[in-house]
Structure 1
Amino acid sequence: MTNRLLCSAIAAMLPCFCASALAQSAETETGEAEAERREDTIVVTGSKRDTALIDSDLSVTVLDIRAIEEARLRDFRRIDDLAPNVQFNESGQRGSIYISVRGVESNPFIINRAAVYIDGIPFRELSNSVLNQVQSIEVLRGPQATLYGANSESGLIIVTTKQPSEDFSAEFRLTGTNFESGSGIEADGFVSGPLIRDTLAGSLAFNLAEEDAFVKNVGSSTGETGQINETFVQGRLRWTPTNQLTVNATAYLLDMDAPGLFDQQYVPLNLSLYNTLYADYFNSGRRAEKWTSFEDAPKYTTEKEWVAGLSATQELGYGQLDFAASYRKLEENAKGLDFDLTATPVVSGQEKEQEAFTNIEVRFSSPESDFFDYILGASYYEDYEENTKASFIGAGNLDSYIAAPAQRKESEDYSVFGSANWYMTPKLRVSGGLRYDNATRSTMQKEGQLDLGAGSIVYYVDADLSKTYEALLPRVSAHYKFSDGLSIHATASKGYIPGGFNLVAVQEGFEDEDVISYDSETLWSREIGFKWQSEDHSIRASGAIFYITSENWQEVQIATDDTGRPVSSDFIGSDASIRSQGAEFETHWQINEAFSADAHVGYVDAEYRDLQLDGVTNVKGQPIQFVPEYDGGIALRYEWSNGVFLRGEVGLTGETSLRSRGDVVQAAVQTFGLQAGYESDRWAIRLFGENLTDERRGSGLAIENLAFGSDGLFYAPLDAPRIVGIELEARY
């Protein structure tokens, strides 16, 4: 079905592409007009009140539509290439993404400590969803709890897509890619325009993609080496019945089908040792190569996601009332976790999830003032998650998995919040905010068992647990504007993640409440930053220094009973602590009408102050996992007057620990990218290459062999290989 849709989209697009080339306008924007247009778009919306970048007290990277197109930003995995002190660690090519900001890591065993909002809809557990028709991206560093609540503890990413327009417009794009293990093709676009003139506008966007797995599984028992087929369709409406009322509605469907692929991809980091151990007997004499793997487990992953959202803005004369509500449902069925990571049938696993999320917020904003303005609001968040694990021993097929009972989790958050700005002088603004958050966490499971082979059986027992957590989350800041081109700010803010439960403790028969549950995590962040722009707006720069501490850090660690006696090391606890400090800098320089440069650099000194991993191991002083010592990037772009352009990119990532013990380290790496093409008002063509040196980089949690135990190897997901491709685009 996807292939037929792709062919139809390509057939429809190519005539449009040719026609648009013939209809190209000879007129081009002058350098002065383009620079002025770009400057006008540098607006921060993350504070819930649109603010010029230089007037913002946030450490934020703002990527406007031009910056997004120039970087050819098409998926979430590359956002961290464009912002300092932000890293994404992944569990596979299409697995979940966990965001680490300023040394505050996220990992798959707990939760994301940074949130993502797409058109106002929260994504606390982020999948690599389609970035379709993006208008802007804001990457906010530091806690944002006063306005966004729990799970924005380390930062926030706000994605805004293109809204329906009052004039007809359309855009179509076709992209082909190639890499060592396969290829991909993608068609996407949108059509937008008025449905009722000056009252109702609508748009329809789509994305159809088919891509091979970056790591080809040549040991597959099903014959499928790994492929991803994705269909995305989104509709939007914008209704303006009066000059005071605006209503936006959106709905989309994302359907992903991946034969031969499990959503978590773990491969050996040391290929030579892996082949020495497993090539002859377990893999029939075949040797794993840079972008291949040998796993017999029958693999197949499907995912469906439905989203609906509604927002309204009412101008009241004495302020503005905003309302937003969204519902998101996700169903995922991932078969094929290969416990032994070889072509020999030992034990295979499956994970099936159903999740539903509801979010409602109402907010009143006073009129902007030269003396005092404020925001007051309330929010409600609810999610329901059901997780079912299954396994089978030895050889089998996609129907061989035997399921254990489902485990369920529920969350319900109520919040009230407020923030205010006091303009002490025309240059000095003092701000404060406070949020009260009430979070209930519940978990349930039924009696049953899960067989992991070799006599290892997980026994489920009946459990029904619930607990409520409360938090007050303050934020204070001061902003001083020396001139139209220079400002500084200082901020102190608190972040928060509610506590939860260790079902594994229940399964092992523990009754100690301090082992069965863990407490909320809180974090304090302090920063001083600046923003500067030249008088002619050709250069802008910003930077900050920060200091972050958490004394009740949630992490997988040793569990103890009420006497302090160690009982297990497989639980999440909240009695650890961390410290992170560092600095960041980013700049854009429009050197002349044709030549521009973008650069950023971040440095982090992040370490565990206390983390007891087992009875004898405390990793105090070790670097926090997934946090590189530094990161940076430089991009240079030159566009000739005839529309031909060339862009080169260099990315720098420092040494990174891939697990908390500090015994698995990804070495520092440099990556290179290149674009060349032609762009006009009506059409564009781009040739591109990413990771041109084909670096093989671990990008997520490193684990030991799940079936054979400590074999001297560590296994981890990999970042993308070298990708080269071509992109054609037509606009109306």
Structure 2
Amino acid sequence: MTTIEELVVTAEKREQSLQDVPVAVSAYTSEARDLVGINSVQDMTNFTPGLTYNNSGDRITLRGIGRISNVQSADGAVAIYSDGIYESTTFQASKPPMFVDRVEVLRGPQGTLYGRNSIGGAINVISKRPTEEFEAEIRATVANYDYTLFQGTVSGPLSDSLRIRLNAGWEKQRDGWYDNIVPGMPDEGNVIDQNYTELQLDMDFGENLEGWFKITRYEWNNGGGGLGGRAAYTPSPFNTTQEAPSIFFLNQGYAFSGQVGGVVNPSGTSVNPAINDPRKFATNTPSTVSVDDTFFVATEFTYHMESMDLRYIGGGAKYHYTLIADNDNGPVNQYTIPLTGTGACSTFLVSIGVCTPLTIFPKAVTDYQEDKRWFSHELNLTSTHDGDFQWLGGAYFYYEHYKQPVSVQLPNQPQFATPVNGPRNLQRYWYDTRPEFKDRSYAVFGQVDWQFTETLKVTAGLRYSHDHKFGQEEARLVCFALAACGTSPQLLGSFTPAVDITAAAVGTGRRPDGTLLPGVAVATVIDPVSGLAKRILDASWQATTGTIGVDWKPNDDILAYAKFSRGYKAGGFNSGIVAPVVTNPFTDKESNNAFELGLKWNFARTFQANISAFYYDYENFQAPVTIVNNTGSVGTAQTLFYNIPKAISKGFEIEAVWTPIDNLRLLATYAYNDAYIDEASGIVDSTDPTAAAPGARPSGPPSPTTDIYTGRKEQGQDLAGNSLPQAPKNKLALNALYSWEFSPGTLMASASYIYRDKMYGSIFTRSYNESPSWDQVDLRLTWTDADDRYTIIAYGKNIFDDLGYYEGSTSTRRAGINPAVGPVVLGINTTYGLTPPRTFGVEVQYRF
């Protein structure tokens, strides 16, 4: 494995050598992943130019093109295909190397052969298939944090025409990467209990027809680990006014009584332990992550004709994910606000008992779910002859039905049960949203390759895509003890009532030029029993995309190419977890005009370099933002999905492998990515709504909305030149692999160095949205016996226990109402997503 070997990929839906494909592709075989230590999608980002991954939100970004929200109606921008089946999660891409033949990361829009949501690129996961001969293998891993992983596979023939493969795995970690200091509360951070089983059948039906079938089942019973689990920290003091200004007093650090757990300073306030240690936290609600009744199915049937193959690829999934999390992010269970002195609670009102002390129970529990079903069908016809003119054509259909119920419950706050102007709320939700939508997509596509000279080839492809999304959203918001609840609580005589402020306004979305977006929003109706506001949303989008390029291959060792590709991503709805029933529910489609130059070069069989340079003209990036409405009406600024009119992503990437001497292989990847907004203005930064922070550039007249915390008008900003989120400007990965060969076997040592530049988690390029640059060192020793029967791997990742950041940081204001002084701002909370701490362990593999 210290030599440079030919790697066969299917990036263009036919088997080709990686060095013959005019696409920027990073490919990882199972064997290479074992030797270097690429065990997860997060590990893959370290070695893949342009790729970043938010493991808590399960969101992928490639060359600055990605998704920065978990709203399901806002599609991902990097398509994930598992054995040809489109997926809206990274489940299959995160499978261990034992079960995966290879993973291919295609950089740049794949607007012809893949199409659906591949505006930024595509990830192909190809499973290990059943074998002609019997084989079996078991693996066991033991690591720190009381981590264990057991895996097994068996494969072989059942008859001359039928082969089978069975895979199973069980992964468990008992100690968390983050320490909860509240007595009796469990640790979090990769505390997991996950199992995986899979059955594959490979079949021959005569000489010309062959088939393959796969069914996979996942089950998670995690405690604060896995996708959505704790993977971040906020090194700011607890807010001593409230957690969220639109809700009610969630005083994490205000003076309190009856507190259980946590750390208390002499003044009687709770102290955030993350200020001094990013791996410590204090909450009173344990997080859990579960996946149940989750199945993935894939099938493939190929009929071989004389000069072409007819192939059907179909499958789908049933997927149910649940996250229970602490919403108030603090350890305080109860405290009392003494309503005395100032404001409407004057001394006189207090003396006659109108304004009485208020007991707050700030425990807030989030229940986030994704309940999805999807399936796809593809039929394609591919040439297989040896002529100069090759072609591929096909048709595609995709269907998805999802529910995304999200609620936040205040279980101990009695006022939420009986809001003064709405039906009873016995579950004591302050936030309850239940979007349910369906998505139907279809496409036809074709691509031709013409080798018109011995060294020159032209490629042209075209795809027509149509997306139709429709369904309903239901939402209710109950507000308590704030002026934002619609009436000043002080004027009500006390802070006791809760107010139902469920939005009932509805409108149509508009593009940046003012023209209406396609779609229908049926007027909102409020259910008198549940209090949920309900409306119907229905919209369609379509696009013609494609590619054209030319390849020059003067010899077997050089390939140079130039290409243009256009990518497309459907619009969506501003529904569900962003905000309850907003007045601008639609987003427009995205498009990406991509220009790329590439060179793939093999030199003397000891050096290989793949170089690409790209320029993207990216239009209508869907971003959740706050928009200023300057129509003169009060209070019309709102959070919604906004199409950033134009962004630019440009850069270059290098992937190189060199074997300078026998038994030594050096690997290096480097990416430079300058991704920024080119046109966008009038957008309010929710962390700095009056555009007063250093670097802010006010744009247009102020909003009619007054910021109650400063008394100034909210102000939109000009964002031209701001960085695109999750796009570090520089990424570097180095790996050295050396082998010693002995009579009993081979010992291989691997050392990796990873560097990633700073990046931002928001479209506002500010210090409070910046995660610092970081680096990491990984070490690995692999022993394999001479008969290749067993392998022992000892590894350490993040050897120096450095803080690494998987995404740009995000921020909020620590603002709220102090009963003594009124609205106040205490500063800014910045949240940093962290890569894993130092881990080390031993893996044993045995092959039968």
Pairwise TM-score range, normalised by the shorter structure: 0.7 to 0.9
Cα deviation, 1:163-198, whole Å, max 9, x if unaligned, reads 0001110111111121xxx331111120111111x3
The answer for the alignment partner of 1:714 in structure 2 is 830
State how far apart, in whole Å, the 2-side matches of 1:458 and 1:160 are: 50
The answer for the alignment partner of 2:572 in structure 1 is 500
Say if 2:433 is the partner of 1:365.
no
Asked whether the 8 Å contact 1:220–1:343 carries over to 2, the reply is: no
- CA 1:273–1:406: 2 relative to 1, 3 Å: closer
Superposition pairs of residues 264-303 of structure 1, within 5 angstroms? 264-265=228-229, 271=235, 280=264, 287-288=273-274, 289-303=277-291
Equivalences, count: 683
The answer for the alignment partner of 1:155 in structure 2 is 121
Paired AA for residue 273 in structure 2? R
Pairwise CA RMSD: 2.9
Say if 2:28 is the partner of 1:63.
yes
- CA 1:306–1:494: 2 relative to 1, 3 Å: same
Cα deviation, 1:212-254, whole Å, max 9, x if unaligned, reads 4644351568633232100000110000122322101000111
The answer for the alignment partner of 2:664 in structure 1 is 595
Pairwise CA distance, 1:341: 4.3
The answer for the alignment partner of 1:5 in structure 2 is none
Say if 2:157 is the partner of 1:191.
no
Of 79, 84, 89, 2:49 maps to 84
Say if 2:270 is the partner of 1:201.
no
* DSSP-derived class of the 1:54 partner: helix
State how far apart, in whole Å, the 2-side matches of 1:167 and 1:665 are: 53
Higher mean Cα deviation, 446-455 or 368-377? Answer: 446-455
- CA 1:705–1:184: 2 relative to 1, 3 Å: farther
Pairwise CA distance, 1:161: 1.6
Superposition pairs of residues 529-678 of structure 1, within 5 angstroms? 529-535=598-604, 537-559=605-627, 567-612=636-681, 613-614=683-684, 615-642=715-742, 643-663=746-766, 664-678=769-783
- CA 1:508–1:209: 2 relative to 1, 3 Å: closer
- CA 1:380–1:727: 2 relative to 1, 3 Å: same
Pairwise CA distance, 1:366: 1.6
- CA 1:202–1:577: 2 relative to 1, 3 Å: same
State how far apart, in whole Å, the 2-side matches of 1:622 and 1:467 are: 31
Of 317, 323, 328, 2:312 maps to 323
Of 76, 82, 87, 1:112 maps to 76
The answer for the alignment partner of 1:725 in structure 2 is 841
Say if 2:100 is the partner of 1:134.
yes
* DSSP-derived class of the 1:480 partner: strand
State how far apart, in whole Å, the 2-side matches of 1:295 and 1:326 are: 41
The answer for the alignment partner of 2:109 in structure 1 is 143
Higher helix share: 1
State how far apart, in whole Å, the 1-side matches of 2:313 and 2:556 are: 34
Cα deviation, 1:507-559, whole Å, max 9, x if unaligned, reads 77765xxx221111111110000001123x22211011100012322112344
Pairwise CA distance, 1:382: 0.7
State how far apart, in whole Å, the 2-side matches of 1:221 and 1:701 are: 32
Of 353, 360, 368, 1:351 maps to 368
Paired AA for residue 76 in structure 1? V
Asked whether the 8 Å contact 1:506–1:516 carries over to 2, the reply is: no
Superposition pairs of residues 200-279 of structure 1, within 5 angstroms? 200-212=162-174, 214-219=176-181, 223-226=185-188, 227-260=191-224, 264-265=228-229, 271=235
Identical-pair percentage: 21
The answer for the alignment partner of 2:712 in structure 1 is none
Cα deviation, 1:88-127, whole Å, max 9, x if unaligned, reads 1232xxxx42111112233224432101112222222334
Pairwise CA distance, 1:201: 0.5
* DSSP-derived class of the 1:78 partner: helix
The answer for the alignment partner of 1:20 in structure 2 is none
Paired AA for residue 540 in structure 2? T
Pairwise CA distance, 1:316: 1.1
The answer for the alignment partner of 2:434 in structure 1 is 406
Say if 2:396 is the partner of 1:379.
yes
The answer for the alignment partner of 1:689 in structure 2 is 796
Higher mean Cα deviation, 718-727 or 219-228? Answer: 219-228
- CA 1:555–1:286: 2 relative to 1, 3 Å: closer
State how far apart, in whole Å, the 2-side matches of 1:270 and 1:238 are: 50
Paired AA for residue 533 in structure 2? V
* DSSP-derived class of the 1:257 partner: strand
Of 313, 322, 328, 1:333 maps to 322
Say if 2:14 is the partner of 1:49.
yes
- CA 1:452–1:106: 2 relative to 1, 3 Å: farther
State how far apart, in whole Å, the 2-side matches of 1:170 and 1:508 are: 52
Asked whether the 8 Å contact 1:219–1:296 carries over to 2, the reply is: no
Asked whether the 8 Å contact 1:608–1:622 carries over to 2, the reply is: yes
Higher mean Cα deviation, 696-705 or 168-177? Answer: 696-705
- CA 1:659–1:453: 2 relative to 1, 3 Å: farther
Pairwise CA distance, 1:564: 10
Paired AA for residue 309 in structure 1? A
Asked whether the 8 Å contact 1:220–1:297 carries over to 2, the reply is: no
Cα deviation, 1:670-705, whole Å, max 9, x if unaligned, reads 110001231131111111111112122332363445
Paired AA for residue 776 in structure 2? T
Of 579, 588, 600, 1:519 maps to 588
State how far apart, in whole Å, the 1-side matches of 2:46 and 2:830 are: 26
- CA 1:486–1:506: 2 relative to 1, 3 Å: closer
* DSSP-derived class of the 1:327 partner: strand
- CA 1:401–1:648: 2 relative to 1, 3 Å: farther
- CA 1:195–1:69: 2 relative to 1, 3 Å: same
Pairwise CA distance, 1:450: 5.7
State how far apart, in whole Å, the 2-side matches of 1:507 and 1:43 are: 47
- CA 1:157–1:450: 2 relative to 1, 3 Å: farther
TM-score (normalizing by structure 1): 0.87
* DSSP-derived class of the 2:149 partner: strand
Asked whether the 8 Å contact 1:461–1:507 carries over to 2, the reply is: no
State how far apart, in whole Å, the 2-side matches of 1:350 and 1:618 are: 36
Asked whether the 8 Å contact 2:192–2:226 carries over to 1, the reply is: no
* DSSP-derived class of the 1:719 partner: coil
| Bigger Rg over Cα | 2
Q: Give ranges in structure 2 of 5+ residues lacking alignment.
A: 241-251, 254-262, 334-361, 414-425, 486-499, 503-531, 685-714, 817-824
Asked whether the 8 Å contact 2:239–2:814 carries over to 1, the reply is: no
Pairwise CA distance, 1:445: 2.0
Asked whether the 8 Å contact 1:165–1:193 carries over to 2, the reply is: yes
Higher mean Cα deviation, 81-90 or 492-501? Answer: 81-90
Paired AA for residue 308 in structure 1? V
Asked whether the 8 Å contact 2:193–2:222 carries over to 1, the reply is: yes
- CA 1:141–1:453: 2 relative to 1, 3 Å: farther
Pairwise CA distance, 1:645: 1.7
Q: Give ranges in structure 1 of 5+ residues lacking alignment.
A: 1-30
